[in-house]
Amino acid sequence: MPVPTPSEYAKILDVAKEQKYALPAINVSSIATANAALAAFAETGSDGIIQFSIGAGKFASGSAVGDAVLGAVSLAQHVHLMAEKLDVYVALHTDHCQAAELDFVRSLLKKSKERLDGGLAPLFSGHMFDGSALALEENMELALPLLKECGELGIVLEVEAGAVGGEEEGAATTTDKTKLYTTTEDMLYVAEKLFSVPARLMFAATFGNVHGIYKPGNVELKPEILKDGQAAVHEKYGKTFDLVFHGGSGTPVEQIQETLDYGIVKMNVDTATQYSFSLPIAEHMHEHYEKVIQADGDGSKKLYDPRAYLKKGEQGMKERVIQASTELRSLGKTIYKK
């Protein structure tokens, strides 16, 4: 099935929220990692999301080009082509984009408009603006016109208030632990500023989340923040946010599933899938080291052919994506009907 249209994607999110499950949003940076996610969704009959960061787009364009927009377009077109062969929906998002880098999103919005003008669906289903480094007022001042622009194209905008700890794209996101917890007042402020726009919105409210895999006890998650904030928003506006869980790798399953009861419909998965892709490759190299480096001229093309180990990486990552779908209660829950 092709990447969902805006109306199809809206239905996917509505059903997920109603039935209290979330879609795994799998960060990829290459055809091999994209194919791993596609294989997992196809094998299990699960709808899901594939997404790219700016760094992934730049990497995908190759060292000779180094163009994040072009690389993201290339990966997105690959997913569009491959998704047509599947009996599930696979939405496309971009990940963290800070204020100084918003030309990345704006360029991709232009690509989606060109497709719409040609009678096609948008290139992407959703984009993320990460204004968490800004004061909330400035964050929303930038988010508001961007939400309007996305809404005109039928594209979801994801915003964030508070900050996710740890590292994202190799940079520390915050050292202030108070920013790891979005307040009820913050959630009400975001609703006040953005609910007036007739566009689909996702909100990454933070409740102690940290990027990366962490040791038990090093991170204090407080999912009740989501519950309390959503209750206040519903009381005032009669509806709640579609919430996003960032920094989910390493989170105990019971805490993941608690958040599903509070409106989480999307959870980003990156660190865990990177590891699951790389580990089988490391094991392949360790096991076949002398054949791969052609020690004493005695190598094996079958073992150093990149396809030999990339297939193992794809399989390992596919299994981890299936685990994520299972933990998020989305396993087998495509809404696509033949």
For 258-304, how does the pLDDT look when each residue is reduced to its tens digit (9 = 90+)? 999 999 999 999 999 999 999 999 999 999 999 999 877 889 999 99
Task: Tell me the backbone φ, ψ of residue 167, rounded to 5 degrees.
Answer: -115, 140
The rounded distance, in Å, linking the Cα atoms of 327 and 338 is 26
Return the structure tokens found at 210: 């940290």
pLDDT band at 179 (very low <50, low <70, confident <90, very high): low
Output Rg (C-alpha) for the chain, integer angstroms. Answer: 20
The residue with tokens 């062969």 is 85
- Over the stretch 87-137, which tens digit does the pLDDT of each residue have? 999 999 999 999 999 999 999 999 999 999 999 999 999 999 999 889 999
User: Which run of H or E residues covers position 17?
Assistant: helix 6-19
Q: Determine the pLDDT at residue 171.
A: 44
Number of C-beta neighbours around residue 177 at 10 A: 11
Q: Determine the pLDDT at residue 178.
A: 58
Q: Determine the pLDDT at residue 247.
A: 77
Number of C-beta neighbours around residue 149 at 10 A: 17
How high is the mean pLDDT of the chain? 92
Q: Determine the pLDDT at residue 207.
A: 87
The residue with tokens 């990940």 is 95
CATH number of 6-327: 3.20.20.70
Annotated catalytic residue within 95, 130, 186, 242:
95
Burial class (CB in 10 A: 0-12, 13-18, 19+), 9: buried
- Over the stretch 239-270, which tens digit does the pLDDT of each residue have? 999 999 987 767 789 989 999 999 999 999 99
188 has a pLDDT exceeding 90:
yes
Q: Determine the pLDDT at residue 213.
A: 56
First to last CA, the chain: 9
73 has a pLDDT exceeding 70:
yes
298 DSSP assignment: -
Q: What is the mean pLDDT of residues 157-180?
A: 63
- Over the stretch 44-59, which tens digit does the pLDDT of each residue have? 999 999 999 999 999 9
The rounded distance, in Å, linking the Cα atoms of 130 and 245 is 14
For residues 68-83, one letter each, b for 16 or more C-beta atoms within 10 angstroms of the residue's C-beta and e for the rest, the string is bbbbbbbbbebbbebb
Q: Can you tell me whether residue 78 is helix, strand or coil?
A: helix
* Share above pLDDT 70 across residues of the chain, in percent, rounded to a whole number: 90
Q: What is the mean pLDDT of residues 143-162?
A: 96
Q: Determine the pLDDT at residue 214.
A: 54
Q: Determine the pLDDT at residue 297.
A: 80
14 is catalytic: no
